Homo-oligomer: A and B are copies of this chain.
Amino acid sequence: MELDASPLALPFPDMPPISGVTLRVALARYKNWDRADLTYAELAECTAVAGVFTQSACASSEVELGREQVKQGRARALIVNAGNSNAFTGYRGREAVDQIRAQVAEHLGCGTDQVFVSSTGVIGVSLPKDKARAGVAAALIAEPCNWEDAARAIGTTDTFAKGAHTSAMLGGTRVELVGFIKGSGMIAPDMATMLGYIFTDAAIEPGFLQELLTQANRQTFSCITVDGDTSTSDTVLAFATGAAGNAPLASFDDPGADAFAAALTDLCRQLAQLVVRDGEGASKFIAIRVSGAVSDDSAHRIALSVANSPLVKTAIAGEDANWGRVVMAVGKAGEPADRDKLSIAFGGIWTAKNGLPVEGYDEAPVAAHLKGKEIDISIELGLGEGHATVWTCDLTHGYISINADYRS
């Protein structure tokens, strides 16, 4: 099945090269297709690495190994296989990953623990070792490619290539941060989402990079959902080559650390929102803002309850300002809420205030807002200072078609 590009797609941005990062792609033919599906990023020596991974209890071997590998803090290579997630394949899957790590480590003359591997695609089919060996061999000697080529090669049901770029001034040194990501279904928060890769030329200690990535993840990847389904393979890795030559960052006391943290969070937010824009069947991008909750965590859980409600998502698909369904989703969240203090707005226009419909509110601007592609739902609980924002998409016939009408 060839899918049209999402109506919410954005063009791939101009992204500068990152000194110390060389990208190559190859055709391993993990599925019966003629597109590059194996991506190889070669990284300068001493590149710092940090990662966040799925919380799934049924994670793939790639995720299990990745969780261990980030602890030593250094990376020389990344391999991404697309078309086969290698999850739930037991020892056979693990053997395929070990083979890839050994093959790349021998080529680079580094330890296998500095070779990171991710896989994405169908669950339950072992990654074929022969295809992996030939694909890696081809990738190791391929011509270098650009970010968009790599972003496209890691995709599966994605309908457009997703990348983002930002920069930060660390003292007097400008550093670049770029990233690319894939994902459009089996997307739910409380972990890093699907496969995302961030590269920077900043010099930063691995432990501090991990701290910043974890913090950014909580405000970005953990704030998106497409269908509430959490993948077995979700991974976000950040690589810092240090080639920019700034004084290495090791804590928030270092000059530029705040600027780098802000830039990293901004980059993660861009990447996370791109995944929502490629949500399976999505026709609307929805921001759900909750305020007045008893805590930020409570606001986050309420926002997710609304974002994951099929009735809210189908109402938005139908361009229906059905705030009753928002009330329902707030009520079921299991968090403190007081019906008679609850207010709800679409596109900034209050349709219900303090537990009552707003009498005679002007429906025309609300209807116009819902006809657009960027929908804003605000929920004020009137209980405290807690607030949170999550991003999701609507639930349409397209989601059913992608996931039911066609066999995987």
Contacts and interface: CB of A to CB of B under 8 A. Distances in A.
A229 B307 CA distance: 11
Interface in A188-228: 188, 227-228
Contact of A396 (B58, B229, B404): B404
A58 B330 contact: yes
Nearest to A311: B229
Contacts of A55: 332, 334
Interface residues on A, range: 35 or more
Among A57, A87, A342, A352: residue with most chain B CB under 10 A: A57
A228 B325 CA distance: 13
Contact of A335 (B57, B232, B342): B57
A397 interface: yes
Given A56-B328, A327-B123, A332-B56, A229 B403 contact: no
Given A56-B328, A57-B339, A229 B317 contact: no
Contacts of A310: 227-229, 310, 395, 399, 403
Contacts of A273: none
A357 interface: yes
A337 to B, nearest CB: 4
B314 A231 contact: no
A365 interface: no
A315 B403 contact: yes
A314 B404 CA distance: 5
A221 to B, nearest CB: 15
B318 A405 contact: yes
A57 B125 contact: no
A395 B186 CA distance: 15
B327 A87 contact: yes
27 contacts: A56-B328, A56-B331, A56-B332, A58-B331, A58-B337, A58-B339, A59-B331, A88-B356, A90-B355, A123-B325, A124-B323, A124-B327, A124-B357, A125-B357, A185-B311, A186-B311, A227-B311, A230-B328, A232-B331, A310-B403, A314-B403, A315-B403, A318-B403, A320-B404, A395-B400, A395-B404, A396-B400
Number of copies of this kind of chain in the complex: 2
A14 to B, nearest CB: 35
A309 interface: yes
Contacts of A103: none
A408 interface: yes
Contacts of A400: 314, 317, 395-397, 399-400
A33 interface: no
A241 B155 CA distance: 64
B87 A337 contact: no
